[in-house]
Structure 1
Amino acid sequence: MNVSSYIDAVLITYSNYYINFKSISKPNFDLVCKHIVPDRVIGLILSNDEDTPGLAELFLTYFQINQFTHLQSLTLIDIGPQLWENIIQNMVELKNLRSFFYTQPSRINPWISDIIGNDLDQLDSHLFDIYSPILPQLCRLRLTHGDFLSSIQFPQLQHLILERSSVDIVKHISSVAAQLKSLQTKFILNNSTTKFIYPSTQLKRLALEIEGQFLKILNHRYNKRIFSQWSTMANDSTASCHIQFHV
């Protein structure tokens, strides 16, 4: 049996499958794409990083995201604006989508270095306006920042990662995401009088990276001024909390 026949056999055997296109060679990528049945794919990772340059563009010559009608999980890695709009305009049609991760590598993206100031902010805002309608249906979400989340309700959200955020955004998320179980983010405190409303008590994992001088935590049950005392969450042996300060 040749490789093509083997892939056909595998894809026919399983009614649903998860496809990870990170760190795949171009010949294998082409081979897999030719055998994919879009409505059987429930998980998809698309990467345009230094290991797989140009493959996301190539993928979009084979498919549009809205063809994956049963897609539950979508991860985009280092996808620039020339592809973002195409993907997210179709992504909002995915009614079964429950997990959306967007990540960037630590290196500076070439497309970011070409866009500065207000142009980047306007692009960011424009893209958010397109994909924001899908956010309330998500259970898992990862974004590079939370700048535009203050107007969004999250009735289903259970796990959230924001690579950059603010106290106000964390407050908002805490107030509208009643099912939130894990939260990971980073923010800067420039005001020594800032009061941080302790995130919801149903949290099982909290990871904060904080830059600033001082933080006062207020909890609706306890008023604590230091991180060594953790109220409800600290008394739960299944919970975890990790705080890093950068002064």
Structure 2
Amino acid sequence: MRWFMFDIVPVEIIHSIFDYLWMNEILNSFLNINDYLDNVILSYNDSFINFNLISRPLFYLICSRLRPHQVISLILSDSDDTPGQCQLFFSRFSIEQFNHLRALTLIDIADDSELLFGDLDKIESLNFLEITPKHYNRYLNIMPKLTRFVVNYQYVVYFESYIYINRIQLPHLRHLTLKCCSYFQLKDIFRYAPMLVSLNISIIFESREQIEIFVTVNHGKSPLTLTNLSLSIDVSSDCDRPSVIISRNHLERFLFHMPSLRQLELIVNSDGNNNLSYGDRWEMFIVERLTLLRTFYFKFKLENVYRNSQTVLCHFRTPFWLDEHRPWFVAYDLRRSLLFTVPHFAHRSIVYSEMPVLPHSTTLPIEQHALLYNMITELTFDSIKDEPDYCYTEVEKLVLIGLEINRALIDLSRVQYLSVNSSSWSLDMIVKLIRYSMPCLHHLSFNCRLSLKYSNSIIPLEQIRILQMPFFAYSTNNENFDWIQIFSRVERLSITVNSCHELAILIDRFNNISYASFTINNSCINVRRNLWEPRMTREWLVRNTRRLTTLDNNSFTCRFDNNNIFKVYLWIGEDCKQQITLLNTRARENSTNDMINGIQGMFSNNLRTNL
């Protein structure tokens, strides 16, 4: 009866709850509970829709209920998990229908998107655009009406002539992020975006001349109004690296005309001059030129450092750096030649035999060192210590290299992702470890050849939703092993197989997968089986799998990648009748606790765009 407690809650309050949720979550948690809630959903006008990593049935559910004029935030993704999603979405809707859209995020968008980007100008309300291009996109430009523009490349690229700025006034632009910005673009950015207050850029230099142009980009102009700057600098591997060194003087000259900065983040990923570590000089510059600065984060990769940790850190132990109102604590990693602020740039991933920061290598007070351990979210077990110094309380990903685990070191019940990187672990041992010690685990990866020794009594792991087996093709006796008995609820599968035939078998056996990535190991085919492989096409998949044969033409999409190694990506739904049944019963299958937990967690939801 707890389902119906919402019948007495006013519509306005329920809509206020919906304001903290994506439409995916609203439909999953509240749809088909009763007529009252269905009508409340129907009358909700401010829809935030996130199609990233979405199951195909839920994608169809949202599309069937979607009213374009009610959508104010939309995320679309053509990632390997959801290939062809954008094309499928725009076969149902045109972008012009979303006339109240304020924020649009496009993930892994292809380079053949001229029509889409050309039509974005027609949406008068659009002020936020975030794009993660799959490749170079020549149609990508900043529109004058935008207040926030973000371009995130997944890989580091260098474009000598890459232009986002059309050399027109951008009077509304206040927040700009360009991952892979060019040094000459900055002049246009500062010239045509006078209201810019937040800038996040990554730049790759190829010569000393480029650095000189960069540091003088705003000389002779009025001081900039930037209050927030994040700058990441790298040096191209193709250049004469000894002659291209980033110094403190370069950074100070660039920052000289930014007196309004309140938050500053500086990252030098390679070839940093030793003078970047002179804390007393940084102190003088900040006191004289950046008087409003309240937050200063930096991470410098230093070259040719001949001083020990204590000598490097001595200039960062002054009252200026240790001010109790805004302490800027610093650490120095001698082995990596890294100087960085903590806890902001403290390690998130660590090997157990190491320490996050050696006690004598940081200005952070020793009574706060536990904070550095609490920031570790990925831990690799490579050895066992008799007496651990601290416990890792926030580990979400655990990597196993050795055969032993120090259970006093880590709370296994919090681990969500387990990566097994040692063949010493048999499948039997892994299953028992997960079953009895890892209730929150949902992501399992076997990054090694598997030992398929298993006890007679099979223990199913219904909690596993993501399964990765890149070495599956090299494991022995895998043909006769019934994986589905253990991993019956897997929704996302990434696996290396020996043949197209093996791929087809796994599609049928893992009948709950919505996303699949198959790598076909051609070298293994030639050596072990000597099979002639057919040409993989969508039609071949339909003919050779029972599951895909039963689906209508629009119930799955696929992508083939033949760069170096052959990969197949699938995004799979259900046939029409199954899909209707699944969607109509989804809410009834959800437990009351699931719904309540979703509501309790909504206030910590940080995924929604602030509009």
TM-score bracket, shorter-length normalisation: 0.7 to 0.9
- Residues 10-21 of structure 1 aligned to structure 2 (within 5 Å): 10-21=40-51
Whole-Å Cα distance in 2 between the matches of residues 6 and 81 of structure 1? Answer: 45
1:191 aligned partner, one-letter code: R
Residues 51-81 of structure 1, C-alpha deviations (whole Å, 9 max, x = no match): 2222222111110111100111000000113
Shift of 1:196: 3.3
Number of residue-to-residue matches in the alignment? 223
- Structure 2 residue 222 is matched with structure 1 residue 206: no
Shift of 1:24: 0.9
Among 28, 40, 63, which residue is 2:93 paired with? Answer: 63
Whole-Å Cα distance in 1 between the matches of residues 195 and 60 of structure 2? Answer: 40
Change (3 A) 1:66 1:174: same
Aligned to 1:27: 57
Among 191, 196, 209, which residue is 2:208 paired with? Answer: 191
Change (3 A) 1:221 1:69: closer
Among 144, 152, 155, which residue is 2:171 paired with? Answer: 155
- Structure 2 residue 266 is matched with structure 1 residue 235: no
- Residues 61-140 of structure 1 aligned to structure 2 (within 5 Å): 61-82=91-112, 84-104=113-133, 109=134, 112=135, 124-125=137-138, 127-128=139-140, 132=141, 135-140=143-148
Whole-Å Cα distance in 1 between the matches of residues 300 and 73 of structure 2? Answer: 33
SS, match of residue 99 in structure 2: coil
- Residues 32-43 of structure 1 aligned to structure 2 (within 5 Å): 32-43=62-73
2:178 aligned partner, one-letter code: L
SS, match of residue 137 in structure 1: coil
Whole-Å Cα distance in 1 between the matches of residues 102 and 168 of structure 2? Answer: 20
Whole-Å Cα distance in 1 between the matches of residues 257 and 100 of structure 2? Answer: 41
Aligned to 1:177: 193
Q: Considering only aligned residues, what root-mean-square deviation do their CA atoms show, in Å?
A: 3.3
SS, match of residue 164 in structure 1: strand
Change (3 A) 1:197 1:56: same
Residues 78-135 of structure 1, C-alpha deviations (whole Å, 9 max, x = no match): 01134x223212212011110000014xxxx5xx4xxxxxxx6xxx43x24xxx4x61
Residues 122-156 of structure 1, C-alpha deviations (whole Å, 9 max, x = no match): xx43x24xxx4x61110000125862416232211
2:150 aligned partner, one-letter code: R
1:196 aligned partner, one-letter code: T
Higher mean displacement: 28-37 or 186-195: 186-195
SS, match of residue 144 in structure 2: helix
Whole-Å Cα distance in 1 between the matches of residues 119 and 34 of structure 2? Answer: 29
1:2 aligned partner, one-letter code: N
Higher mean displacement: 186-195 or 56-65: 186-195
1:207 aligned partner, one-letter code: S
Identity %, equivalent residues? 30
Change (3 A) 1:93 1:150: closer
Change (3 A) 1:179 1:92: same
Q: In structure 1, list runs of 5 or more residues that go unmatched.
A: 113-119
Shift of 1:201: 3.9
Give the alignment's TM-score, normalised by structure 2: 0.33
Shift of 1:8: 5.0
Query: Greater CA radius of gyration, 1 or 2?
Result: 2
SS, match of residue 175 in structure 1: helix
Change (3 A) 1:8 1:62: farther
SS, match of residue 184 in structure 2: helix
Q: 1:204 touches 1:239 (CA, 8 Å); kept in 2?
A: no
SS, match of residue 141 in structure 1: strand
- Residues 219-230 of structure 1 aligned to structure 2 (within 5 Å): 219-220=256-257, 228=282, 229-230=285-286
Give the alignment's TM-score, normalised by structure 1: 0.75
